[in-house]
Structure 1
Amino acid sequence: MEQEKKCIITITRQFGSLGRPIAKLVSEKLNIQYYDRDIVEQASEQLCLPVSQIDQLEEKAEKATRNGFMRMMYPLGTQTSAMQNKIFEAQKNIMRFLAERESCIIVGRCSDFIFAKNPKSLHIYIYAPYEARLENCVNTLNLSEAEAKRMIQSVDQARDQYHMHYAGFLPNDPRFKNIMIDSSTFGTNETADFLADGIRRKFPYIFQK
């Protein structure tokens, strides 16, 4: 894409709202790149953190819950605060590089804060009622009901704390969002259709039919 024909879509989400698969679907429908946890792994490599160390952290997460969702509670791993700050700065630079290169969707990582002042950005928040999230965790993510309840509480709290620490506002703050959508209203695919259509309307010079 030409430099003037790029956009940055940031997506933050509640745990269990299926925001991640929705974001992937939107990227497929728009034919643009999707970035999520791979940004953190790239940052860790830049800082010369051994890949084996990342693997060990994920293995510990797998043991904590059989589906490995515990890693979502620690977006930067269980490193020290100083290391987390270094990783945050590294991943921020990676996100800016990726956004400068091409249109993309970036999930989480305070991307809404990092690109808040970019005129070519659109910020989306995906949420759902508690009962819908609980059902998604059990039926789609294959968690037990007890695990689902614990993860919803723990991951939401961790994401809120992380976002408040680095961005200075909560991920669901409407002052920093352009679109806030309940994914249970339409379901995964139709929510992705709705968002993709909204993005096309926002950036018609990029997504011409």
Structure 2
Amino acid sequence: MTNNLIITIGRQCGSGGKLIGEMLAKKMGVKCYDKELLSMAAKHSGLCQELFEKLDERPTSSFLYSLVMDSYSMGYTTSGYSDMPINHKIFLAQFDTIKRLADEHSCVMVGRCADYALEDYPNVVNVFITADDRDKLNRLKELYKVDESKAKDIMIKTDKQRSSYYNYYSNKKWSDPRSYDLCINSSKVGHEGAVDVIMNFADVKQRWLKQN
């Protein structure tokens, strides 16, 4: 465990959370990890990267599904994760990767229960990004080149998956303000404004920690 500054970002679909994370990392002069965590976790665990992509922020408690995926993963697993369902192997591999990166350097991490993985690390700022539905839908329509009905389907489905994943693996509740240090509505301050708010909050939290 180190005193590296880690910013974790949970986000509603269409809120611009990933973009805010990337902008924040650039301003801080550090790396932003999103889907990069999948390839890194696969490399260090010995598990097939395709499994990480298939199960990315998607939980399952289905015994049958785990059996099927375990069979699919034969030949790709390491002994360290050999005696558990494949969805748990994937989560723990990402969990280990998140901790390893936090120990190595300051960074920004988007999604994947990073706040839960680092709950014992003092110098972490856990942020949740939301936005007004109209702005989220407009962003998704532009991003995926779809109509409003399809954008709404994407928003609802993605948020449901993220919520289920977070609630399944962590001891907290997704989007509940009590699960985070800071919640921001990007519709009210814009993406650059959100970056400024996070940086200011991180500075205040760091000074408070030094005093207490």
Could you say whether these structures have the same fold, taking a TM-score greater than 0.5 normalized by the shorter chain as the test? Answer: yes
* 1:23 alignment partner, one of 21, 24, 28: 21
Q: Is the 8 A contact 1:72 1:155 kept in 2?
A: no
Q: Distance in 2 between matches of 1:171 and 1:26?
A: 22
The reply to whether residue 33 of structure 1 matches residue 36 of structure 2 is no
The C-alpha deviation readout for 1:124-150, integer Å capped at 9, x for no partner, is 000012222111111344333222111
1:78-104 residue CA offsets vs partner (Å, 9 max, x unmatched): 973821210111111111111011111
Q: Does 1:92 find its partner at 2:90?
A: no
SS in 1 for 2:8: strand
Report the equivalent of 1:134.
137
Letter in structure 2 aligned against 1:162:
Y
1:140-155 alignment to 2 at 5 Å?
Answer: 140-155=143-158
Structure 1 match to 2:73: none
Match of 1:187 in 2: 190
Q: Is the 8 A contact 2:57 2:112 kept in 1?
A: no
- Structure number with greater Rg is 2
CA distance in 2, matches of 1:73, 1:165: 10
Q: Does the 8 Å contact 1:125/1:177 carry over to 2?
A: yes
Contact 1:116 1:176 in 2 (8 A): no
Where in structure 2 are the equivalents of 1:1-209 lying within 5 Å? 5-51=3-49, 53=50, 74=58, 80=69, 82-203=85-206
- Partner SS for 1:124: strand
Alpha-carbon distance in 2 for matches of 1:47, 1:118: 23
CA RMSD across the alignment: 2.8
Change (3 A) 1:88 1:186: same
Gaps of 5+ in 1: 59-70
Q: SS in structure 2 opposite 1:154?
A: helix
2:129 & 2:144 partners in 1: Cα distance? 17
Shift of 1:196: 2.2
Aligned to 1:66: none
1:42, 1:139 → 2: CA distance? 30
Q: Distance in 1 between matches of 2:24 and 2:155?
A: 24
- Equivalent-residue separation in structure 2 for 1:72 and 1:189 (angstroms): 28
- Between the aligned residues of both structures, percent identity stands at 27
Structure 2, unmatched stretches of 5+, are 71-84
> By how many angstroms is 1:74 displaced?
3.8
